[in-house]
Amino acid sequence: MTSTGVLRLGTRGSALAMAQSQTVADMVTAATGMRVELVEIATAGDRSSAPVQQLGVGVFVSALRDALSAKEIDFAVHSYKDLPTAPADGLSIAAVPERADPRDALIARDGLTLAELPAGAVIGTGALRRIAQINALGLPVTTVPIRGNVDTRLRKVAEGELDAVVLARAGLARLGRAGEVTEILDPMLMLPAPAQGALAVECRSADADLVEALAALDHRATRAAVTAERALLAALEAGCSAPVAALAETTEDDEIYLRGAVISVDGRFALRLSRTGTLADAEKVGRLLAADLLEDGAENVLGSAE
């Protein structure tokens, strides 16, 4: 905390990151009474136009974590799906607020749904996971990789450069643009990325008072869900480089239902399995489902995403 008693929240400078961080800042102030100021941190991912899969996991995270370790900021807000699965030395995820809608969304010209897009339609997306699942559907469409902020991507549809784009619905909602969605994609067709729609609030482990204060924002069911999804991802990262998708749902009875998928980029191999368990066993459920996927052939696409 600064000498003025104001908490410094580090954030990427994109409109979506700023919106997410302001939401968390308001939650912290409401829960603790402490003032929060946003500190913009430029990351390597923001400075590059290369596809995300070429830049590597954590490209939007490392600069924020460096600023935390250097005590330039007090805490940071990440899109949880951007975080590497390995923990960072000296840092703690103090809170995982209640998750927004984790599903993917289609924004298409003329209000079309995915099934209504004509043969030869071009869909833009930056995620191999989405490309693989669209290919697996066998639709007569073409996917192209895109980068840029939400406005840039939506503009490509509005101006006719693309017929559609696929984005996370949570991000569109946080920017007030959910009304432009033409179809929310059923997870049976398009399983989300692990931890999609969730935020991670991170601070230094040694700042015990801040860890305790931020814990007021934690949502138990959301934390369990993303723990299961990320445990699956962590277990598969060592043995499978194909796109991985996962979604955990929880019940009021403290049960968790985890679905996972491994898909080759061309869509020809698509393995989908599920497991159930309790919230307390969320990490174990994720690891067991990963083992199931590997046992049933996920290793067949080892290296296919390289």
Residue ranges per structural domain of the chain: 7-97+198-218, 104-184, 226-301
Q: Which DSSP state fits 213?
A: H
Return the axis-axis angle of helices 220-237 and 282-295, rounded to nearest 10°. 30
Res 257: pLDDT: 98
Res 66: pLDDT: 94
Where are the strands (E) in 112-178, listed by range? 122-124, 142-144, 164-168
One-letter amino acid at 268 equals R
| Active-site pick, 46, 74, 82, 151 | 82
Report the C-alpha gap between 176 and 172 in whole angstroms. 6
Return the axis-axis angle of helices 150-158 and 15-32, rounded to nearest 10°. 140
110 is catalytic: no
Report the C-alpha gap between 44 and 48 in whole angstroms. 6
pLDDT of 46 higher than 60: no
One-letter amino acid at 239 equals G
The fourth-level CATH superfamily of domain 7-97+198-218 is Periplasmic binding protein-like II (3.40.190.10)
State mean pLDDT over 73-87. Answer: 94
State mean pLDDT over 202-225. Answer: 97
Q: How confident is the model at residue 239 (pLDDT cuts 50, 70, 90)?
A: low
Assigned fold of 226-301: Double Stranded RNA Binding Domain (3.30.160)
Q: Which DSSP state fits 191?
A: P
Q: How confident is the model at residue 266 (pLDDT cuts 50, 70, 90)?
A: very high
Report the C-alpha gap between 11 and 18 in whole angstroms. 7
Radius of gyration of the chain (CA): 19
CATH class of 104-184: alpha beta
**Among 12-16, 107-111, 194-198, which stretch is predicted with the lowest mean pLDDT?**
12-16
State mean pLDDT over 72-100. Answer: 95
pTM of the model: 0.91
- Selection from 115, 262, 266, 81 nearest residue 185 by Cα: 115
pLDDT of 52 higher than 50: no
Within this chain, domains 104-184 and 226-301 share the same CATH topology: no
